[in-house]
């Protein structure tokens, strides 16, 4: 299973800070083509990433989209019109440059390696 930060879009210099994706190492054209073991691993990975986002960035809610199997947290204070698929369009959403994204990725990796033993971020 691969998990990582979604890439910065062409022409942009920042990205939504906590926009993660999870995908199987083997390419399939849809979830129905995953083996049972791959499907379990994907589900487990998405659940662990979601817990990490709640703990590390104090996500208020974590959205999962099957479009690219993305894991996206909702930040505290996000207005209703910027929830769900529009969470990264909120003008006040945390955005970050590649160095800041790498720093968050390191924090998430540390949390995941601790099996959740690290203290959650304050809300």
- The structural domains of the chain, with segments of one domain joined by +, span 2-113
Q: What's the pLDDT score for residue 118?
A: 61
pLDDT beyond 80 at 69:
no
For the chain, give the mean pLDDT. Answer: 83
Token look-up 């589900």 returns: 43
List pLDDT tens digits, range 27-50.
Answer: 887 788 899 999 999 999 999 999
Q: What's the pLDDT score for residue 68?
A: 53
Q: What's the pLDDT score for residue 75?
A: 79
List pLDDT tens digits, range 100-117.
Answer: 988 999 989 898 888 766
pLDDT beyond 80 at 85:
no
Q: What is the biggest distance separating any 2 CA atoms in the chain, rounded to whole angstroms?
A: 40
CA distance 48 to 40: 12
Q: How many helices (H) and strands (E) does the chain have?
A: 2, 6
pLDDT beyond 60 at 67:
no
Cβ-proximal residues to 81 (8 Å cutoff; 6+ apart), any chain:
none
2-113: CATH architecture: 2-Layer Sandwich (3.30)
CA distance 20 to 91: 19
- Pick 20 or 30 by higher pLDDT: 20
Indicate the SS3 state at residue 21: strand
Angle at 96 between CA 93 and CA 102, to 5 degrees: 130
């Amino acid at each position: 299973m691969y998990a990582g930060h979604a890439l910065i879009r062409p022409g942009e210099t920042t990205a939504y800070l906590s926009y993660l994706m999870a995908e199987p190492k083997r390419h399939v054209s849809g979830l129905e083509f995953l083996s049972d073991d791959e499907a379990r691993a994907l589900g487990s990975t998405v659940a662990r990433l979601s817990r990490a986002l709640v703990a590390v960035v104090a996500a208020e809610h974590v959205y999962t989209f099957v479009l690219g199997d993305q894991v996206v947290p909702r930040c505290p204070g996000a207005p209703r019109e910027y929830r769900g698929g529009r969470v990264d369009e909120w003008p006040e959403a945390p955005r970050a440059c590649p160095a800041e994204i790498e720093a968050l990725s390191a924090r998430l990796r540390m949390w995941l390696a601790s099996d959740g033993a690290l203290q959650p971020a304050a809300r």
